[in-house]
């Protein structure tokens, strides 16, 4: 019974503290000067929020995907000495074929062309 009572007191106390900190930390004042971009004290000449290039984002995602796959290839050289050569070769060839298939697909889709 004592453990249940202590647990309820701790739960209630932590809930009250979270509510108080959430209420105190809210900022309700929207200041135009603070929310505008800063450019040496002058009004900005152009928008600070430039449109993001979707082509650049796509190439960055493709790079990350292939980078992770290369990180998966590196331990395969270490495993070579502790596994059967036929099993290792089959798995390595299959993995490389999947990588090359993905690269071929991205190439056919035109995702790797930076400038049109």
Q: What is the pLDDT of residue 4?
A: 93
With pLDDT > 70 as the criterion, what percentage of the chain qualifies?
76
Question: What total number of domains does the chain contain?
Answer: 1
pTM of the complete model beyond 0.85: no
Containing structural domain, residue 95: 72-79+89-111
In a domain, 98, yes or no: yes
In a domain, 3, yes or no: no
Asked if the structure places residue 22 within a domain, the reply is: no
pLDDT top residue among 102 and 51: 102
The reply to whether 99 falls in a domain is yes
- Across the range 53-64, mean pLDDT stands at 82
In a domain, 93, yes or no: yes
- The average confidence (pLDDT) of the chain is 82
How far is the C-alpha of 61 from the C-alpha of 55, rounded, in Å? 10
Q: How distant, in Å, are the alpha carbons of 39, 65, 74, 82, 110 from that of 78?
A: 53, 22, 8, 8, 35
C-alpha separations of 84 from 70, 89, 97, 115 in Å: 22, 9, 20, 46
> Does 94 fall in a domain?
yes
> What pLDDT was estimated at residue 81?
87
């Amino acid at each position: 019974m004592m453990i249940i009572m202590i647990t309820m007191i701790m739960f209630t106390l932590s809930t009250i503290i979270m509510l108080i900190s959430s209420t105190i930390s809210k900022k309700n004042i929207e200041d135009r000067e603070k929310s505008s971009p800063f450019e040496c004290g002058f009004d900005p000449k152009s928008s600070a929020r430039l449109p993001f290039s979707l082509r650049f984002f796509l190439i960055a995602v493709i790079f990350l995907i292939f980078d992770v796959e290369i990180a998966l290839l590196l331990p395969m050289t270490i495993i070579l000495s502790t596994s059967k050569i036929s099993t290792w070769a089959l798995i390595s060839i299959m993995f490389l074929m999947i990588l090359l298939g993905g690269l071929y697909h991205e190439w056919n889709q035109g995702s790797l062309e930076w400038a049109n």
